[in-house]
Structure 1
C-alpha cells in the first residue's frame, strides 16, 4: 500500500512538472497567437475585440512592454481614453527604464491640449524617478514652451503689480501683463503702478503727478520736489535742493530732507545714504540704527527689502540680513541683485552668478555669466552672450536667444528683446502652460 501511494505521488508530481513545462513552452506561442489575432481585428477597426485579445496575450506574458503599448493604443482607438492613460501611467511607473509608455502618454496629452495634466503627471513622476532623463526633458520642454503675443513697443520693462512701462514715439505709458494699453504713451517718464494703485508720471513740462488706473491725476506734489519715487507704505522718496526725504500720502514732507540718496520704504524699512555710507531709517526719514554700510542693493524701482531680505556691503563683501539688521546665513558675495516679491535672489562669486534663498543658502551654484533674481518660478540667465530662462531646479527651460530678458509674471508673460536680422525688437512672450 505504501509503495502504491509513493508511486501515485510520483506520477502526480511528474504530471504537474509536465504541465508546467508544457505551459512554459506554449505560453509564448499562445501570447503570439492572441497578438496576431488582435492585429487582424485592428486592421478591420474592430478595436473592442482587439482589446480582449491583447489582454489575453498579457495573461501569458505580463511583462511584455510592446503588448502593453498595443493594448493602450487599442483602448484609445476604441474610445476609452481613461483606460489608455491608466495603462500608460502604470506601465511607465512599473518599467521606468522603458520610455515609450511615458512618451505616448505625454504626446497624447499635448496633441489634445491637456498640457496642465501632462505637467501634473510629470511632476509626480519625476518626484518618484528623479534621475529619469526623458521625464526631465519633457518637463523642462513643457514649462518652457511659449508664444509671442502681438505687442509692438519701442521699449518694454519689467511687469510690476500687473503693469509695465512701455515706450512709443519717444514717450512712455503703461501696458498690462498681456501687452494691452493701460495708460497711453504720453509722458516723459512713468513708473509701474504701486500696490496702492497709483503710478508716478512726469509730464512733458517736467511736473510730477501720481495717476490712477483710469489715467486720472490723484496726487500732485509741490513743484519744488524732484526725482520722486513709487508710493509704498504711504511713503514716496523725493528730492529737494539736492537732498532726499520722504513724502506722506498727502504729499507732505515727513521730516527733514538731509540724505544724499534714499531707498523706497517697504513696511517700515528704508535706507538713507550720507557721506558715502548707508544707514537704516524710519518712515520719517530719521536714522534708527547706528550701523553703517558701504552699499545697499536696490531693485530697478529703488527698493531693497523684498521678502524682508536685504543685501548690504561691509568692507569688500555683501551679505544678507533682515530688517532688524540680523545677518541671515553665513554666505558672503562679491555682488548681488535684490530679491523680487518671490523666489531666489541672484548672487555673484568670482565673476559667476548663482542663487540664494531667503535663509541665505546657496541653492543654485554660481555658474552663469550673469543672472536676474527669480520671480514666479523662473529666472533669466546669461549664457554665451544670450539671455534665457531656468527653473528653480536649475533646468534651462528656454534656451538662451534673447538680447534682454525681464522677470516672468504670475500670468506667465515676460518682455524680451530679440535680434531679428540685426534689428533688436522688443517682444512679449507668454508661457503656453499659463495661457
Structure 2
C-alpha cells in the first residue's frame, strides 16, 4: 500500500493495514502485527497495536508493553506518554519518571546551554517545567514559558489586561518579576538583556538588578559587551553594567 525511504538500512512498508520494517534486500524485520511503527530513536521505536502504543527494540521484541494511548520518541533517555487523559514521561525500561498527572508534556531537550535537561508540562491551563528525574522545577503557574538560555527562562503571567513577562532560573526562582510588556531572551554569553515597560526600554541582569531603568526609546546591542542607547535626544554607549563608556 505504501513504503517509506530507507533510513539506517531499513524502510517501513504498509500492507493490508499492517506496518513492518524491511531491509535493503526486502526481508521483513518485524512481524506484521502493528498498525503503526515509528523510527528507532535511542534503540527503541514506538509501535501501535489497535488503539494502544508501546515500544519495540531493534530485534522487534516488545520492551515496553502496549498500555498507552499515545507515546513520543525517546530523547535524552525519556519519552512522553499519554495514558487515560494525563501525560508524563518514562525511561527506556518503561519506568515512569515524570508522574502521569499532567494535561500535556513535551519531550526533553538540552535547552540551548546543554548543561541541564527540561521538559515543559501543562496543568490546568498553566505551564511549568520538570527536570530529567521528573521533579517539578518550575511550578505550573505561568501562561507561557520559553526555553532556558544562559540559565534563564522567560515566563509570562496573566495581568490586568496585559501579559507581563519575567524570568526564572534553574531553581524555578522568579528572579526578574513579571512586570514587563516585552523581554528579550538572554543571548549566548550574555548576562544582561533588554526589557520594555510603559513604552520605554531598560536593561536588566540575571540577578534581577535594573542596570538602566525603562525610560529609553531604544537599547540595542552594539558589540560583544556594549549597548547603544537612545534617550530621545542623545545616543550613547553603555557597558554590561550599565555604565556609560566613551566610543
State TM-score, norm by structure 2: 0.49
Larger fraction in strand: 2
Rg: which structure is higher?
A: 1
Larger fraction in helix: 1
Relative contact order, higher structure (CA 8 A, sep 6+): 1
